[in-house]
Chains A and B, each alone.
Chain A
């Protein structure tokens, strides 16, 4: 028997001729090598001399989650470092200096977390971002990323998701198992996708599954879009809006009058 499968689309390569910037403000901050904190709707970027040194987003698990979820670092060890420092980046630097973790592992995890949170921080937003000049962020021992590089990687990631499955609904909605009859019969599920599929329960969203697995959120979006494309998973349809109460067109005037009379007679 021959199994014919449609090959997945290739990973996109950045179009270097494209000058499309995600935000003019970001381009300006990079040009002036700004130092400070850029707060956007879905996340925050910490810039030092025009380079991103740290990023946070409520949608992406932080370095702490990535490091402690699989026992790379004991949660108490992270907590001790976090208690002694001003923020997660400084806690990571303290861990690096203390030698508790290998430099390569920490650098790798730091970059993973930075690109992951950066992807969500640069997501289209309904409100403009605010930049606060602040001498707090500084170039430290952990790797930093030029603003332009983060911007281009974010665009490339959007394109990758779009090519896997063009509907972004599954990125943010609670996920449900798709009706097997509706999808292609028994499309294979890769081991990493299996772990995601096992956590699809009609309540969790893709980014909540990522946190539960201690995985990068963008990686989970990739797995979810592949699972949606293969017919295993679907975004839960929005709950139907309850019908409005029927308009009262015929108040019982006689009853109301009797009620008023009775009240007045008390």
Chain B
């Protein structure tokens, strides 16, 4: 059963992975980081990514129709001309507000594969 660090290291094995973090979107705190961060600063990246995640989670327009206790949003994808950012909300059985953030190089990264794998990792992190 993986812990936080093992989960992040596994995410780093995806093709094109530059950096990964587990971030709390209420406080903006990175609970774990590995690899690089844009601008070299995981803390700033975590705070900015948390802001984006919170906006998506709190605005009804993006929420799933059925309110079944799961996070309202599954993931967020931001692309720019050289990289992808993939934010995957973690569905915990206890109360929390965390997501996995994966930064992928655009040349080597495979967004579809990364999205599937990150979803699996988020589930394994809290379900074993």
Contact = CB atoms under 8 A, between A and B. Distances in A.
A260 B72 CA distance: 81
A104 B4 contact: yes
A109 B98 CA distance: 11
A213 B97 CA distance: 14
Given A108-B4, A153-B29, A191-B72, A10 B125 contact: no
A40 interface: no
B110 to A, nearest CB: 24
Nearest to A216: B95
Interface in A207-235: 213-216, 218-219, 222
B105 interface: no
Contacts of A188: 60
Contacts of A104: 1-4, 7, 124-126, 128
Interface in A65-94: 66-67, 69-72
B128 A143 contact: no
A99 B92 contact: no
A107 B51 CA distance: 23
B42 to A, nearest CB: 11
A157 interface: yes
Contacts of B79: none
Interface of A: 10-14, 66-67, 69-72, 99, 101-105, 107-109, 111-112, 115, 143, 153, 156-157, 160, 188, 190-192, 213-216, 218-219, 222
Given A72-B92, A72-B94, 9 more contacts: A11-B27, A11-B48, A13-B47, A105-B92, A105-B127, A105-B128, A108-B92, A188-B60, A219-B97
Interface of B: 1-4, 7, 22, 24, 26-29, 31, 43-44, 47-48, 50-51, 57-58, 60, 63, 67, 72, 90, 92-98, 124-128
17 contacts: A10-B47, A11-B28, A11-B48, A66-B94, A72-B94, A102-B126, A103-B128, A104-B1, A104-B4, A107-B4, A108-B22, A109-B94, A112-B96, A156-B29, A160-B27, A216-B26, A219-B26
